[in-house]
Amino acid sequence: MSSSLLFYLCSLLCVALGVASVACVSLWSSRWRGGFAWDGSGLQFNWHPVLMVTGLLVLYGYGAVVYRVPLTWGQNKLPWKLLHAALMLLSLILSILGLCAVFDFHNAQKIANLYSLHSWIGITAVALFALQWAVGFAGFLLPCSPVAFRKLLKPVHVWLGGSILLLSVAACISGINEKLFFVLKGTPNGTQPYSSLPAEAVLGNSLGALIVAFGLVVLKILANVNWQRPDSRPGDTAYTVRGAGKNIQK
């Protein structure tokens, strides 16, 4: 099997797992948790898992692999940098909205913020993501950025990008488990305990498995040197702007 064909198969799997993860968390929040609102109630909390899975995980993963598409090789790199930055910015905005949803809910219900391991991992992931985006924009998109700074920043940017993805996966699966423990307590009103694995627990566990699989596929795509854009391999820090009759390296 050719390297390009294997790449596209992995990419299709990545897209399918991402879409399935978003569909699964949306179904969980709408069918089992009652739907959505922005009124400080539990319905507002339901935005939190949907926005975090969609933004901090799925869109982030898609944005991370956008450089790997072979059809883009040999083309001007700048448009793909802009697409990468735009996907990451949208991912960051959705993540921040997801944090706003849960903080507003906690404050309205007099619940403490940032006390669980899940919340520590999640807030760390978003904070690093915001820092990564800002520094990456300054380093790789501003024409005035020194080449020496880009050379210094690039390996850190790549390493931190993968680290944020791992933190996102950890935050999502720990949050799923935390939520299932909170809501499936086997109360007298008929709610089955988590240990009996009711349908909601099966859905939540399946969502966690999809998220782990998505993260592993994205990391596989990012780790394969043969799937890196030729002008993005170690040592390259430039992008090309095609001007009138000449190329300008920036």
Which tens digits make up the pLDDT trace of 169-189? 999 999 999 999 999 988 776
Q: How many CA atoms lie within 13 A of 169 on its CB side?
A: 18
Q: Per residue in 210-222, pLDDT tens? A: 999 999 999 999 9
- Please state, rounded to an integer, the average pLDDT across all residues of the chain: 90
Q: Is 242 helix (H, G, I), strand (E, B) or coil?
A: strand
Do the Cβ atoms of 41 and 87 come closer than 8 Å?
Answer: no
**Structure confidence at residue 231 as a pLDDT band (50, 70, 90):** low
Query: At residue 240, what are phi and psi to the nearest 5 degrees?
Result: -110, 130
The burial of 208, by beta-carbon neighbours within 10 Å (0-12 exposed, 13-18 middle, 19 or more buried), is given as buried
pLDDT at res. 108: 96
pLDDT at res. 1: 62
**Structure confidence at residue 236 as a pLDDT band (50, 70, 90):** very low
CA dist., res. 40 & res. 9, Å (int): 43
pLDDT at res. 3: 80
Q: Which CATH architecture has domain 3-237?
A: Up-down Bundle (1.20)
For the chain, the structural domain boundaries read 3-237
**Structure confidence at residue 77 as a pLDDT band (50, 70, 90):** confident
Q: Per residue in 4-37, pLDDT tens? A: 889 999 999 999 999 999 999 999 999 999 999 9
pLDDT at res. 186: 82
